[in-house]
Amino acid sequence: MKQSPEAVRLDMTLRSSALVAGGFMGDDPRSVSEVMDADAGALSRLGVTAGEVAARMREITDKAATAESTWVEIDANREAVVNDTRGSLPCPWPHEAWFLKRVTTLRRKDTGKTVRWSELNIHMIAAHGFFEGKGSLFRTEPADLVEILF
Ligand SMILES: [Zn+2]
């Protein structure tokens, strides 16, 4: 399928390293819309929406951010830590939106599994349904994210 000029431009922006090291697509050969469609399908099989995933990430980050760089108990099975690297980052989509560079790491105490995300990840999942391409620094498979979040 031929992509619109807007989609081609977005694809190029997300693949460039101008904003984050390695870009947002890693070494994923798929188009941005293919990545988003596949992740939307995975979420629907898991029975959650991108909005619910992002809302849970927001809730955990807000709770952990009450004590910077310190593990905070989220509930009986989960703890999280927020590390602020200072500065902010714009959303790569063509709209004006900036996000703190701080990173949240969430750990499940029962399985020991961890995931991490940035403020921008929460926004890109909530607003754009975008989890980044495979091989990018902050890609988390929707299934892994959901397993640890809920
Ligand atoms: Zn955005």
pLDDT digits (tens, 9 = 90+) for 22-75: 899 999 999 999 999 999 999 999 999 999 999 999 999 999 999 989 999 999
**How many angstroms is it from 38 CA to the middle of ligand 1?**
19
What is the pTM assigned to this prediction?
Answer: 0.94
**How many angstroms is it from 89 CA to the middle of ligand 1?**
11
**How many angstroms is it from 60 CA to the middle of ligand 1?**
20
Q: Pick the more confident residue, 133 or 3.
A: 133
**How many angstroms is it from 8 CA to the middle of ligand 1?**
17
**How many angstroms is it from 96 CA to the middle of ligand 1?**
8
**How many angstroms is it from 5 CA to the middle of ligand 1?**
18
> Around 30, how many Cα atoms within 13 Å sit in the side-chain half-sphere?
13
**How many angstroms is it from 19 CA to the middle of ligand 1?**
13
State whether residue 136 is helix, strand or coil. coil
Calculate the average pLDDT of the chain: 94
- H-run or E-run covering 127: helix 119-128
**b/e burial code for range 78-105 (CB count within 10 A of at least 16 → b):** bbbbbeeeeeebebbeeeeeebbebbbe
